[in-house]
Structure 1
Amino acid sequence: MSDSVSSILSQIRSYQNQLGTRALEPVQNPGAIDFGQSAVVKAPSFGETLQNAIQGVNTTQKEAGALAQAFELGDPRADLARVMVAAQQSQVAFRATVEVRNRLVQAYQDVMNMPL
C-alpha cells in the first residue's frame, strides 16, 4: 500500500513541476514570518494541487482542440505536425490524470480495507 501512495505522490509532484508550482512540501515552520521577504509562502494543499493538475489537463485539451479547429479552417499557422503533437500531449496528460485517479481510489480502498 505504501508503494502506491508514494507513487501517487511522486506523480503529483511531477505534475506540479510541469506547472511550475510548489506543493506537498512540508512547511518548515508554519506561522513563522520571514522578514527578508514581503509575504509568507505556504505550500498549496493536496486539493489545490489536484485542482491545478486537472486545470492543466483541461487547458492542454482546450489548446489542442483550438489548434485542430484552426487547422480545419485552413489557418496557415496551424500545421499538421503542431496539431498532432498537441493532440498527443493532451491525450498523454489525460491518461496520466486518469491513472493518478485510479491509484488514489486504490489507495483509499486499501486504507478502508485495513483491519482495525
Structure 2
Amino acid sequence: MDTKGIDQVIGQLRATADAAASKSASAADATGGASFASALQNALQEVSQAQASAQEMSREFSAGNPDVNLQDVMVNLQKANLSFQQMVQVRNRLVTAYQDIMNMQV
C-alpha cells in the first residue's frame, strides 16, 4: 500500500493545526473553552493512529500471524481510509473558507 500521498496530506494538516494552535491558544484561554486548533490536532492524531494501527495489522497478517484474521484487517483499513477521507474534506472546507474570507472586500 502506497501511503506517500496520505502522509503528505497529513503533514499539511498537522502544519495547519500547529499554526492555528499557536495563534488561538491565547483566545481559548481567555474564553475558558477548548480551541478549534486543539480539536483539529486531536482529530489528526486519531486519524494518524488509525492508519498506523491498520498498517501494523496488515503487516501482522502478511507475516502470517494466526491471531490476525483478514476480516479485521479489512475493517481497520476501511476505517482508516474513511477517517482520512473525512479529514481531507475538512481540509478542503477550511481552504475554501479561508479563500472566501481573503476574497471579501473590506
Count of equivalent residues = 77
Q: Distance in 2 between matches of 1:77 and 1:103?
A: 40
Q: Deviations over 1:11-44 (max 9, x none)?
A: xxxxxxxxxxxxxxxx9xx5xxxxxxxxxxx532
TM-score, normalised by the number of residues in structure 1:
0.63
* Segment of structure 1 superposing worse, 73-82 or 42-51: 42-51
2:43 to 45, 50, 53: 53
Q: CA deviation at 1:57?
A: 0.1
Rounded to whole Å, the distance in 2 between the matches of 1:43 and 1:79 is: 43
TM-superposed deviation, 1:102: 0.5
Tell which structure's C-alpha radius of gyration is larger: 1
Q: Distance in 2 between matches of 1:94 and 1:78?
A: 23
SS in structure 1 at match of 2:68 = coil
Deviation of 1:77 (Å): 1.5
The residue matched to 2:101 in structure 1 has which SS?
Answer: helix
**CA–CA separation in structure 2 for the residues paired with 1:43 and 1:63:** 31
> Which of 81, 84, 88 matches 1:91?
81
Q: Percent identity?
A: 43
Within 2, Cα distance between the matches of 1:51 and 1:98? Answer: 14
Gaps of 5+ in 1: 1-26, 31-41
1:81 correspondence with 2:71: yes
Q: Which has the higher contact order (CA 8 A, sep 6+)?
A: 1
